[in-house]
Structure 1
């Protein structure tokens, strides 16, 4: 009995792999981040996606921390920054920060990266330059503008991470815990339950309230001559 002939496929007929590069690694990591969150953005998974070994990636990036910074910067490229006009600069500042928050919330894992990494690259610098220009347009001094920008971005990242990480079911469970808290031991918390959970970021009110608090603090510190 004759054995069936085995079909041999030449390796030359396979599609050529895209050459490994810094840009390809960052883009692949960003795609995995969007699909799986930060758990999907490991060097091992990135290497597997690129059909290579993890050691090959270190030729282009020092470590996962540096790669995370580049991935965050790539994500920030999707943030629209309108031209600064002579209109209400504070309104422009608030709307830009809200747009930044929405970007972090809508892209899985991006909010977490914004808190645990220092973004490096043109897109991150573009955002910082834009916020500094708006603050200085409002008469904020150099040091106050620099420190204020850092504080505002930290606030936005914290709000975005909280919103991105919690589901409606989690919020409902949390509210139930507050409702069941002993009103004798925690009288203020018990009386302010409604206020504590009011003003979700989707309504913008609480979000913009936080920005205004930070801004008023910047102004007050500047008036005291501390920065």
Structure 2
């Protein structure tokens, strides 16, 4: 029986889907990673968000590992490479790595990718090139520069992941402090004596101290062994 009040919606009136491409896949994957964490970075979820099948994605990305690298690179687009004139190489390097830290700390998923993904995109490579240039400017060459780069990136990525994960899980410094205070000071005398120092300056000052400790070690290694 015909219903004269029924509204018929033509498929032609629906908004057309945005054509599938590597860029739209990466953009969608990054949004899912930010909103859902690492669980959002699955081919099935990305395909569902794009109203297509997982097999369609492999036309544009070789595998999940390659997609992860593209997504990490997209997340690093906001990292600022400091090139202020008249400023020492060390300050410029610190400012750049702090920018990298800040970007990663916004979302644990992106910080997690930085720890287990090979950087191959243009933004990732630009950051790698920048750090090597600053190390070269400081007189750090060859093996010391290459391995020093790994240490600096690993340190910054690890700090970002730790801080972002704490924020996501609701872990506070007060809770950590309470845990230390509950320990038997005779069984753990060093922790008891340093419990304040273990949790204080948990921010920019502590991050900078870590970078300076790593850089001093690299400089000493370069000076002593020349590699």
TM-score class normalised by the smaller sequence? over 0.9
Q: Do the aligned residues in 2 keep the contact of 1:69 with 1:120 (CA within 8 Å)?
A: yes
CA distance in 1, matches of 2:152, 2:49: 36
CA distance in 2, matches of 1:198, 1:51: 48
TM-score normalised by the chain length of structure 2: 0.92
Partner of 2:46: 46
Q: How far does the alpha carbon of each residue in 1:8-59 deviate from its partner, in whole angstroms, 9 at most, with x for none?
A: 3322222211111111100110111222222222211111110001111122
Question: Pairwise mapping of residues 1-227 of structure 1 onto structure 2 (< 5 A)?
Answer: 3-5=2-4, 6-83=6-83, 85-167=85-167, 169-201=171-203, 204-225=204-225, 227=227
CA distance in 2, matches of 1:157, 1:128: 13
SS in 2 for 1:206: helix
Return 5+ residue gaps in structure 2 as ranges. Answer: none
TM-score normalised by the chain length of structure 1: 0.92
Q: Do the aligned residues in 2 keep the contact of 1:35 with 1:108 (CA within 8 Å)?
A: no
Return 5+ residue gaps in structure 1 as ranges. Answer: none
Q: Tell me which stretches of 4 or more aligned residues in structure 1 moved more than 3 Å.
A: 5-8, 167-171
| Segment of structure 1 superposing worse, 163-172 or 136-145 | 163-172
